[in-house]
Amino acid sequence: RYEAAQAAPTLLANDGGRLSPYDPIVQRYADRYGFDWRLIAAQMYQESQFDPRAVSRSGARGLMQLMPSTAQSLGFADLARPDAAIHAGVKYLYELRNDFDAEVPAGERTWFALAAYNLGPQRVERARRLAERLKLDPNRWAGNVETAMLKLARPEHGGLDRRYGQAIIYVRAIQSLYGSYR
């Protein structure tokens, strides 16, 4: 995923049981935007493995792997700074979560927002529409919209975009790590 191969840091920092070197920053912005800070730490690990210098092949940068244009639209310019990168990523996730209609239960919106963070909101909405056509609940993630995304990713079922499968893996990995952090 990254330009240069790097050794992955451990999942848990060795100093005092902290989850990351950035826990105080994560806690501040998670609290400001109404997230469990451990969820944000799990997402940050999934995105950059806590490497503030991480750059993806597509140009996403920093701890939360935002595209510079997305960060600028949120009012952030320097994604190399951990404070700015974390604040921008949490703010973006917050905005994505709030974009889902009130019919999506509050707890489900987080999973939808994580998928949108990875895949884009338009693709998540496409999967919700397919879920509805498949007689699945378009307002529930697990076993519903997630299932529709899987169909959209499989060529044998007419799927054209393998990124849907990657988004499922992304959300599941964050859910798993978040469960461990809790």
Q: Give yes or no for a contact between 127 and 167, defined as CB atoms under 8 angstroms apart.
A: no
Enter the pTM of the model. 0.89
Mark whether 156 is an active-site residue: no
- Residues 123 and 126: their CA atoms lie apart, in Å, by 5
Range 30-37, long-range pairs (CB < 8 A, 24+ positions): 30/90, 32/90, 33/90, 33/91, 33/93, 33/94, 34/94, 35/90, 35/93, 35/94, 35/110, 36/178, 36/182
Phi, psi of 90 (to 5 degrees): -70, -40
- Residues 157 and 134: their CA atoms lie apart, in Å, by 13
Largest CA distance in the chain: 50
- Residues 10 and 20: their CA atoms lie apart, in Å, by 9
One digit per residue, the tens of pLDDT, for the chain of length 182 reads 334 444 444 444 445 578 999 999 999 999 999 999 999 999 999 999 999 999 999 999 999 999 999 999 999 999 999 999 999 999 999 999 999 988 999 989 999 999 999 999 999 999 999 999 999 999 999 999 999 999 998 876 555 678 899 999 999 999 999 999 99
**Which is the catalytic residue, given 3, 47, 132, 146?**
47
